[in-house]
């Protein structure tokens, strides 16, 4: 072998060895650098809030419809659609829509094929006079009064004429609804509660009803109102078509709501006073599937297991060992936060 080739081979081997040396050295330095960076703790930016004592309510939220009050043991229904007592022709209409009437007022007068209202009224007067003079029987007087009753449509309750469907000259019969009288001081809100929530529902529980009504203090102008009342009735049966239970709550006479109005409502089924509560966003599910909060100690967040209760307006009732009002908890950033983490608090300022 020529000396020149031997020298070239030796140089190649030396260069390769030097390259391997520097490569191994550089990797070792990189590993050492990475190890130092791994020892630097991760700092998570969060926002915080505080635990508080407050009153929380368990509620059933839904919607209801304003309607006339149904009949009870002591009062008739607050709504009365009126039909003619028999076939005839409208002779006179004594009211207009929106007019207040008293029970017993004659609203509409009819003429029949056998008698006119004027003749029937005159006959009642004549029989009354004769009966006072003992010149006719009580039966004749009662027959005359019954004849007149068939030609008059009277208000069965005091209230407002909310609809009037006939004019003089119109033909009517027993199937014709000629008018409707409603007592607007006796209204209820009817609602359907899902069967799954109905077990918590009973008469006497509080109801908050919101909506726009006619307020007497605003001269009849529409005004937003929140009415507080109680559940008056809970149906003992479930509607098979809707899988819901019908309930209603009586409105006060001056509620200002209108029949047929659709209103949001909340039924309060239980109240917990002076309970410990946490901001809703601070209560998250931990790795074991249970609820936890992250308590702030100096610059560290420590997960603490809690039992939850009522939820209302962004707050959650909690119970846990050693918890007290004023304790600081992580709110924004609490979800997915490791069990024990260094944190930096950056709560927004109110300007």
What are the structural domains, with CATH classification, of the chain? 43-56+273-345 (2.40.420.20), 60-65+184-272 (2.40.30.170), 77-182 (2.40.50.100)
pLDDT of residue 347: 78
Indicate the pLDDT class of residue 339, thresholds 50, 70 and 90: confident
Contact 266, 60 (CB under 8 A): yes
Give the integer Cα–Cα distance in Å for 132 and 136.
8
Contact 5, 306 (CB under 8 A): no
- For 308-319, what is the mean pLDDT? 93
Which of 225, 210, 214, 312 is CA-nearest to residue 265?
Answer: 210
State the pTM of this model.
0.68
Indicate the pLDDT class of residue 250, thresholds 50, 70 and 90: very high
Greatest CA span in the chain, whole angstroms? 167
Indicate the pLDDT class of residue 221, thresholds 50, 70 and 90: very low
347 secondary structure, DSSP code: P
Residue 161: exposure state from Cβ atoms within 10 A (0-12, 13-18, ≥19)? buried
pLDDT of residue 224: 61
End-to-end C-alpha distance for the chain, whole angstroms: 89
Does the pLDDT of residue 345 top 60, yes or no? yes
pLDDT digits (tens, 9 = 90+) for 60-90: 899 999 999 999 888 899 999 999 998 999 9
The packing angle between helices 138-149 and 117-132, to 10°, is 160
- For 161-189, what is the mean pLDDT? 95
Torsion from C-alpha of 107, 110, 115, 116, nearest 10 degrees: 70
pLDDT of residue 218: 43
3-state secondary structure of 330: strand
pLDDT digits (tens, 9 = 90+) for 251-303: 998 888 999 999 999 999 899 999 999 999 999 988 778 899 999 988 888 88
Indicate the pLDDT class of residue 216, thresholds 50, 70 and 90: very low
pLDDT of residue 217: 40
Lateral strand order in the sheet of 152-154? 152-154, 106-111, 88-93, 171-172
3-state secondary structure of 4: helix
Does the pLDDT of residue 8 top 70, yes or no? no
Beta bridge partners, 66, equal: 189
Query: What would the two tokens of residue 34 be?
Result: 């990475």
Which of 284, 279, 276 is CA-nearest to residue 347?
Answer: 279
Does the pLDDT of residue 20 top 60, yes or no? no
Does the pLDDT of residue 33 top 90, yes or no? no
Instruction: Give the mean pLDDT of the chain.
Output: 85
Give the integer Cα–Cα distance in Å for 246 and 265.
14
Q: What is the DSSP string of 63-119?
A: EEEEEEPPP-SSS--SEEEEE-SSSEEEEEE---TT-EE-TT-EEEEEE-SS--HHH
């Amino acid at each position: 072998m020529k000396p020149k080739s031997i020298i070239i081979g030796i140089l190649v081997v030396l260069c390769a060895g030097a390259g391997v040396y520097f490569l191994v050295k550089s990797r070792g330095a990189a590993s050492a650098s990475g190890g130092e960076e791994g020892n630097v703790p991760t700092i998570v930016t969060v926002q915080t809030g505080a635990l508080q004592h407050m009153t929380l309510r368990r509620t059933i939220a839904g919607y209801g419809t304003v309607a006339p009050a149904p009949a009870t043991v002591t009062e008739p229904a607050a709504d009365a659609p009126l039909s003619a007592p028999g076939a005839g022709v409208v002779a006179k209409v004594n009211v207009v829509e929106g007019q207040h009437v008293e029970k017993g007022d004659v609203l509409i007068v009819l003429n029949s094929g056998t008698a006119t209202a004027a003749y029937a009224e005159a006959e009642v007067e004549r029989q009354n006079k004769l009966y006072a003079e003992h010149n006719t029987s009580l039966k004749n007087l009662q027959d005359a009064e019954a004849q007149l009753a068939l030609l008059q449509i009277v208000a069965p309750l005091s209230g407002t004429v909310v609809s009037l469907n006939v004019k003089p000259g119109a033909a009517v019969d027993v199937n014709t609804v000629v008018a409707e009288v409603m007592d607007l001081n006796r209204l209820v809100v009817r609602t359907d509660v899902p069967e799954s929530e109905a077990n918590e529902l009973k008469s006497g529980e509080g109801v908050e009803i919101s909506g726009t009504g006619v307020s007497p203090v605003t001269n009849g102008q529409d005004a937003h109102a929140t009415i507080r009342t109680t559940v008056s009735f809970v149906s003992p049966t479930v509607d098979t078509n809707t899988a819901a239970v019908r309930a209603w709550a009586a409105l006060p006479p001056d509620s200002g709501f209108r029949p047929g109005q659709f209103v949001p409502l909340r039924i309060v089924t239980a109240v917990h006073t002076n309970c410990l509560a946490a901001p809703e966003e601070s209560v998250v599910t931990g790795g074991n599937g249970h609820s936890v909060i992250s308590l702030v100690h100096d610059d560290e967040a420590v997960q603490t297991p809690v039992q939850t209760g009522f939820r209302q307006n962004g707050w959650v009732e909690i119970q846990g060992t050693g918890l007290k009002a004023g304790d600081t908890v992580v709110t924004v950033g609490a979800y997915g936060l490791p069990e024990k983490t260094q944190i930096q608090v950056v709560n927004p300022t109110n300007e």
